[in-house]
Structures are given as structure tokens and as C-alpha cells.
Amino acid sequence: MRTVKPFISNQELKPLISIIIVNYNGKKWLDKCINSLEQQTYTHLEIIIVDNGSTDDSVLYIKKNFPSVNLVQSRQNLGFAGGNNLGIAKAQGELIMLINNDTWIENEMIQRLYEEKIQKKLDVIGPNELLYDKSLRPLNLSMTSLDSFGHYIHTDQISKFFYLSGVCLLFSKQLYSDTGGLDNSFFMYSEEIDWFWRLHLYKKKIGISQDQKIYHAGAGSTGAGIKYLTFLWRNQNTLQMLLKNYEWHNLAWVLPIYLIINTAEMTLFLLIGKPKISLSYIQGIWFNIRYFDRTMHSRKIIQSARLIPDTKIFELMYFGFAKFNHLIHFFKFS
């Protein structure tokens, strides 16, 4: 008697992708974002939304309009890293996709991005980033370089970038676990830079898709411009990142220059009447003094597992002072 094998669809043969969206008061973005995910040709997906204690009725809106979404509620705002880590802990998928709430994608993007990841044997891949209304950006903001002092600068050099924007990333859950993922102590900003620095140290392969696109509004939860919390979080995290990832002999010259740059910026903000922004630099240093032991514990793990020296890291970095461009950006959009 012939045994008839049950039908298995091509989608079921593909790995489950768990999509993690961290939401904080982003109700206005959710409809377009989730609808674009539910219309994907790659259907072996689970959508997990981590709500970081929203007060704009996001939770009720999700429950009413998207019952198939796995909603994870946090009573407090865990930040970007903490929110994503909570979602990943709940994820059932072999693959993880992080995606911002203020984005939308076309219906074949996940399928094509997955195929490109496999074809190029990449550990982490991200799509090209365009404006929310589909207009072009002057540079691909998905790929970004970094100077020696932890300050980012956007680049159009496809062959030389340090990290990919956390707006949308696709990777395996096993890789995330093996490399430590996003650090919960980074409440907001630089958390993906810190992780990609580690990925480089561990010789992982990173790539950007030039053909696949994500449409991003930007500052969907935090807003743009010169904001105290933005500077505070960056000042806390940048120094922490340097302490964790550099070899000691390079910290000996990087840290003094980093502190000189910070002192110059503090003076500038005092002169233009923004004393609270100046204060954020001092608070950033105090934060790192307060949590120095925790940072050193992380550093010990990273340094014991690294596979390449800092000389290779410097080859990936921007040569110069990216902070000049950074300040121009803040003043331009303030």
C-alpha cells in the first residue's frame, strides 16, 4: 500500500522569522507598519510588539485591530535594547528581524532580504533606508561609519561601513545569543553600534542590501533636535562602548582626546545658552564611574572572545572627527 506524504508548503520549509517591534507612544505609526508586515510574500512570520509602557492607547489599539500580533507589555520603558531583548526572549523563530515602528516595507522585502542573506552567507543583513514618503535620501542612512572616539558619520562608501542602522536588521537568534546582542545598559542610542563593534571583533559577516528598501520616518519615539535626554544617553553610552571594546593601550590615547572633545562641546553649549546640554556631559561621565564594575565585567567577556586586534577595527573606521558633522546635524534640525 502506497503511503501518501502530507503536503508541506514552501513557506513551512523556510525558517520562522520573528519580527520584533518596540513601541513607545507610537500608535500613529502602527497601522501602516503592521499592515505592511501582514502583506508579506514571506508568510512564515510571527509579529511581536513590545510595548514600553505607552500612554497613548497603543495597547488597546493593537488588541482591537491586530489580534494575531503577539503583544508583550512592559510596565516600564525598557528602552530600545531592553525592549528588543524582551521581545527576542519571547520569540519562537530561528531568525529575528528587528524593525522600527515608524517604518513600512513593500510586500516582497522580507522574502528578498532573506534570500540575499542566504546567498551571500551573511550573519547580519539590513535593507536600504529611504524616507517614509518614498523620496530618496542623499546617503544610505542604513550604513554608517564610526570615528575612533565612538562618534558616527553616515557614509556612501559601500565597501567601508562600521555598522548598520537598527531600523531594520535580520539575523539568527543563535548569533544574537552567541555575541551578546544589544546591551540592556544602553537605554537608547549607540546600542547597535556597540553590538556591531562586537560582531567585527568576532569576525562576523555583515552586509547591506542595495535593492531591498525600508521606508522610515525617523525619531518616531524620541523626536528630533537638540534634546537633553538624547545627549545624556549618547554621552553615557559612547564612553561605555569605548571602555568595553578597545584594547587597553588604545584606550590610553583615545580617552584623553575623547574628554577634550567633550570639554570643548560643553563650553560651546554653555556659550549658546544651553547649560542643561552641557550638564549631560558631566552626567555621562558620572554614569560610567557609577557603573564601572559592570562595564569591566562586560569588557572581560568581550576581550577574552575577540578574534582580531584593534588595528583591524581602525581600518573599518572613519579617519577624522565625525563629531563636527554630528553637531552640524543637531543644530540644523533643532
Domain boundary among 193, 216, 239: 216
pLDDT of residue 16: 97
CB burial of residue 246 (10 Å; 0-12, 13-18, 19+): buried
Residue 211 in domain:
yes
Domain boundary among 157, 184, 216: 216
CB burial of residue 172 (10 Å; 0-12, 13-18, 19+): middle
Percent over 90 (pLDDT), the chain: 76
Domain boundary among 216, 249, 274: 216
Domain hosting 313: range is 228-333
Q: Give the three-state DSSP class for 94.
A: coil
**Are 286 and 144 within one domain?**
no
Closest CA to 145 of 330, 315, 259: 315
For all residues of the chain together, what is the average pLDDT?
A: 89
Residue 9 in domain:
no
**Are 25 and 154 within one domain?**
yes
Contact 73, 189 (CB under 8 A): no
pLDDT of residue 4: 39
Residue 198 in domain:
yes
**Are 25 and 94 within one domain?**
yes
pLDDT of residue 2: 36
pLDDT of residue 326: 62
**Are 151 and 294 within one domain?**
no
Say how far apart CA 152 and CA 325 lie, in whole Å. 9
pLDDT of residue 332: 61
**Are 120 and 200 within one domain?**
yes
Residue 6 in domain:
no
pLDDT of residue 3: 38
The answer to whether the pTM exceeds 0.75 is: yes
Number of domains in the chain: 2
* pLDDT less than 50: residues of the chain: 1-9, 139, 220-221
Say how far apart CA 276 and CA 266 lie, in whole Å. 10
Q: Give the distance, in angstroms, between the CA of residue 269 and the centroid of all CA atoms in the same chain.
A: 28
What's the CATH number where 178 sits? Answer: 3.90.550.10
Residue 193 in domain:
yes
**Are 209 and 302 within one domain?**
no
